[in-house]
Amino acid sequence: MKNLKAPHTAIALLAGVLLALACPAGARGQGGGAAYNFLDITSSAKIYGLGGMNISLVDDDLMSSDQNPGLLGAEMSGQVALNYMHYMGGSHFAGVRYAHSQGEHGTWSAQIRYFGYGSMDERNEFGEIIGSFSPQDVAFGGTYSYDFNDRLRGGIDLKLIYSGYADYTAFALSTDLGINYYDPDKDLSLSAVVANAGGQIKRFTDAYSRLPFDIRLGWSQSFGTFPVRFSITAHNLTKWKLPYYKTGDGSADSEPELVDSFVSNLFRHLVFGADLISSNNFYVGIGYNYKTRTDMSTYKRNFFSGFSLSAGLRAKEFGVGLAFAQPHSGATCLMVNLSLNIQDLLRK
């Protein structure tokens, strides 16, 4: 038990410092808008296919640990993973992550993520086009997790974020704190995450941009021999009301209708997922995100809005995963993951 004290102390100190940083961020950000929403876009094709958010999925998919640092573990040691995503509006995201075990109870990982939003027109104060620019965000991150016992694991993730939009640049510091409880006898997983705590350390202008701070809870479980695992993730738990406007058919005579009912608010906090777990060599997943569907509440929305699909194959040390979603009829999102376990490959 002697090796428990140092990791516990390190995690506690980092958590205290970074949560303290988040508090003035919220206070100073009362007049500014929340930014950095790209931090909520997963790098895991499997998670994207399960509704885009899942903090309780116990797996050896390295990319899924970006949802909860408490999911990172020694079972991912030696794994390197790549991701690419074609997102809405011509955006392209990519990233790489590597993990390695540390001692008997710890695991660390390092990552780089790039978010590019295509080319945009640059205009002067008169609205005249004077050129073009390519806005981008880059996040450099490190994660450390620790097994407190054979069922409880906690972790911390720290990111340095660079943003470049035309002639404006900014830097921000963000952290996630996560914990996971897993009962293998019941295949029951419970998680809690404090996400995107932190703030800007260099602003674009005098205005302060807040990080999308959030508290999340998650549950995943399969039942008996039934080969499907079910998941529910609750998010945006720092506020109850999440109203939206329903715009009808989009015609000129259609008046926007504010939707703010109890049932609507409840389901806009929840993400549902189910994945097939009958084999370790492949998976298929489906998810439903009611908030995504209602956020796209226009005449361009289609039946598939809010739904997402994923599938993956594994052959020894190699793995590939794909995910697909269509938030509205004019936007198709596709994600690809590739993984390789270098340690297993070198042992041969």
Domain ranges of the chain: 2-346
Mean pLDDT of the chain: 86
Per-residue model confidence (pLDDT) at position 249: 54
At residue 51, the 3 state secondary structure works out as coil
Per-residue model confidence (pLDDT) at position 298: 63
- Report whether pLDDT(20) > 80: no
Structure confidence at residue 25 as a pLDDT band (50, 70, 90): very low
* Count of alpha carbons within 13 angstroms of residue 186, beta-carbon side: 10
Average pLDDT, stretch 114-143?
A: 86
- Report whether pLDDT(245) > 90: no
Per-residue model confidence (pLDDT) at position 7: 44
Q: Output phi, psi for 49, to 5 deg.
A: -75, -10
- Report whether pLDDT(30) > 60: no
Beta carbons of 64 and 339 less than 8 angstroms apart:
no
Per-residue model confidence (pLDDT) at position 133: 80
Residue type at 156? I
- Report whether pLDDT(181) > 80: yes
Per-residue model confidence (pLDDT) at position 24: 35
From 248, 243, 273, 281, select the one nearest 259 (Cα to Cα).
Answer: 243
Beta carbons of 116 and 91 less than 8 angstroms apart:
yes
Per-residue model confidence (pLDDT) at position 299: 54
**CATH of span 2-346:** 2.40.160.40
DSSP string, 66-132: GS-GGG--GGGTTEEEEEEEE-GGG-EEEEEEEEEEETTTEEEEEEEEEEE---EEEE-TTS-EEEE
At residue 250, the 3 state secondary structure works out as coil
How far the first Cα of the chain sits from its last, in Å, is 34
Beta carbons of 231 and 272 less than 8 angstroms apart:
yes
Paired sense of beta strands 318-328 and 307-315, if any: antiparallel
pLDDT digits (tens, 9 = 90+) for 87-111: 877 789 999 999 999 999 999 999 9
Q: Name the residue with higher pLDDT: 179 or 248.
A: 179
Structure confidence at residue 253 as a pLDDT band (50, 70, 90): low
Per-residue model confidence (pLDDT) at position 8: 46
Residue type at 292? T
Structure confidence at residue 295 as a pLDDT band (50, 70, 90): confident
